[in-house]
Every structure is written in structure tokens, then in C-alpha cells.
Amino acid sequence: MSTATQPFAAALDTATGRVSPQGPLQERRLSDLEGLYADAAAWRAAVDDGDPLVYTVSAATVPEQAGQVPFSITTIEPGDVAGELYMTKGHWHTADEGEVYVGLNGKGGLLLFDGDAHRWIDLSDGAVGYIPPRWAHRTVNTGSEPFRFLAIYPGAAGHDYERVLRGGMGARVIRDGDGRGYEVRAVEAGT
């Protein structure tokens, strides 16, 4: 029998953020986001005080290989570190490959950075965000409930996290004064 990936249907549980059949399941705690929050002292204090779960990625059983098209649901919990909202680490693709994000539930958005300019796309209410090749991308929970989205990407895209650690994302997403809204605040490259 062929060992090639077979056609299949997956179920997306939008209430729990799980794909089934389930491939890799990844949990990221605040300690996994070292060096990414502006306020390092507040980050350290929150890590020492229970190291909360920030996001979970539930991936389908599709290999990250050229020609394949993996997909996954990310769930970002609500929260912030000294006002800077819970977010994914963010990455560049190592190959010139794009990606599609589909908002499922909750409030959130997609921060993009091409090394020079940043963009913000709101993914609340089922919006579809398109990430062209050569744009770093990070998602942020801007609400008070879990934010979930589906990601679909070429299997040969590859993930470079170091470049975001070194060069930042061109902006930070901060709760605004009354705690209900948010601001996408431009920052110097590398900060």
C-alpha cells in the first residue's frame, strides 16, 4: 500500500480549538516568549508567578513537506504583560511562501512586518487574512475571551523565530487606557 498521505476530512472544533484527527499539539507558556515582551521585568514576574499558558496550536496530520499543505488551529488566551497583549512568538518563513489565516472566534488580529513597515489586519468575526511571502507574522488576542484562527500554509514554508527575536515586528499591540480597546503602536526596528 502507498505510504503517501491519503485524502481525508478533518473536523475543526471551534469551541475547543482542536483539529481531529489530531497531529502535533503544541502549548506555549509565557516562559516560551522570552525576549519578546517590551517589559522584561513584568514578563519575568509573570513567569515566576505560575507561567501561564499563552497559546495552543492544534495541527492536522499533514507533514511539513514540500507539496503538502498543513493546517492548524491556534488558540490565544486573553491576557497581557504590563499592557502588551498575549500573542504568538511570530516568525518569518524561511522560503518565499505565503499563508492564509481564517478567524474562527474571539477578537484578535494579525501583525505583519516586512522589515521596514508593519501592517495590522483584524481577524475578528471570521475575516480571512492573507500573508504574502516575505512578511513576518504574529497574531494577538485583543479581546477578553480566547481568540482562535485556522492557519493554512505550504509545507515547505519553514519557520524562522530568531529573526523576530533580533529584529522585532515593527509594532507592539498594547491595551489602551480604559482596558477595553487596544493600540497598534509603532516601535523602532529591533525593539
Measured from the CB atom, the residue of 84 and 99 that comes closer to ligand PA5 is 99
Q: Which residues, in sequence order, are CB contacts of 80 under 8 Å at separation 6+?
A: 86, 175
Residue 186: exposure state from Cβ atoms within 10 A (0-12, 13-18, ≥19): exposed
- Among 16, 31, 38, 89, interactor with ligand PA5 by CB under 6 A: 89
- Among 99, 107, 110, 136, interactor with ligand PA5 by CB under 6 A: 99
Would the CA dihedral through 21, 23, 27, 33 be positive or negative?
A: negative
54 binds ligand PA5 (CB under 6 A): no
Per rule CB under 6 A, count of chain residues that contact ligand PA5 = 12
- Among 72, 75, 141, 142, interactor with ligand PA5 by CB under 6 A: 72
74 binds ligand PA5 (CB under 6 A): yes
99 binds Ni ion (CB under 5 A): yes
Q: How far apart (Å, rounded) are the C-alpha atoms in residues 133 and 86? A: 25
Q: Which three cell numbers stand for residue 98?
A: 505565503
Residue 75 contact partner, candidates Ni ion, ligand PA5, none, CB within 5 to 8 A by sort of partner = none
Cβ atoms of residues 147 and 76 within 8 Å: yes
Measured from the CB atom, the residue of 46 and 87 that comes closer to ligand PA5 is 87
Residue 142 half-sphere exposure, CB side, CA atoms within 13 Å? 22
What pairing do the DSSP bridges indicate for beta strands 80-81 and 84-85?
antiparallel
Residue 72 contact partner, candidates Ni ion, ligand PA5, none, CB within 5 to 8 A by sort of partner = ligand PA5
* Cell 503538502, located at residue: 68
105 binds ligand PA5 (CB under 6 A): no
Chain residues that interact with Ni ion, rule: CB under 5 A: 99
Chain residues that interact with ligand PA5, rule: CB under 6 A: 57, 72, 74, 88-91, 99, 139, 151, 153, 159
